[in-house]
Amino acid sequence: MAIEQTYLMVKPDGVQRGLCGEIVSRFERKGLKIVAMKFTAIKKETAENHYGEHKGKGFYNSLISYITSAPVLAMVLEGDNAISVCRNLMGKTNPQEAALGTIRGDLGMMTGMNLIHGSDSPESAAREISLFFRPEELMIYKRTADDWIYE
């Protein structure tokens, strides 16, 4: 088993559409464990840091404006291969190309409003988690359900 943590964020469109519960429940039903969660507004400086790799691209300014326009639900999930499991549950970035059964495939319409962000590597997960959570906000606990999820 490769237990890892990943950062996920229900973006402003997901919050505004009232989809937080639906989205979180998909990850929980899969068997992933919530170790941190907060409802927050992202400051411009944090958004610029989070999306720094996109600086200079044509969509950068609108991305920063969008992600700071309304609250988001930030979370850290943990589980076996959590990063790839979460990315599979999210679906392709473009919801019109995402498979049915994925969050974006079932609930999204446009790339710019694709409901959710998830880390794409262990390195980005560590960086993103540290941007949005202090170490003491990450809960370490045994979940009894894990005995029924993992062999």
Give residues with Cβ within 8 angstroms of 93, minimum separation 6. Answer: 104, 111, 114
Would the pLDDT of 1 be above 90? no
Q: What does CATH list as the number for 3-137?
A: 3.30.70.141
> Among candidates 9, 13, 6, which has minimal Cα distance to 111?
13
Average pLDDT rounded to a whole number, residues 89-116: 97
Instruction: Give me the pLDDT at residue 60, please.
Output: 92
Instruction: Give me the pLDDT at residue 41, please.
Output: 98
Secondary structure class of 144 (helix, strand, coil): coil
Strand 33-40: give its sheet, edge to edge.
33-40, 72-80, 3-10, 116-118
- And the tokens for 17? 């559409």
Instruction: Give me the pLDDT at residue 53, please.
Output: 87
Mean pLDDT, all residues of the chain: 96
Secondary structure class of 9 (helix, strand, coil): strand
- And the tokens for 115? 């409901």
Enumerate the domain spans of the chain. 3-137
Average pLDDT rounded to a whole number, residues 115-140: 97
pTM: 0.95
**Residues carrying an active site annotation:** 117
Cα 120-121-125 angle, rounded to 5 deg: 90
Q: Beta-strand (E) ranges in 12-144?
A: 33-40, 72-80, 116-118
Q: How far apart are the first and last CA of the chain?
A: 9
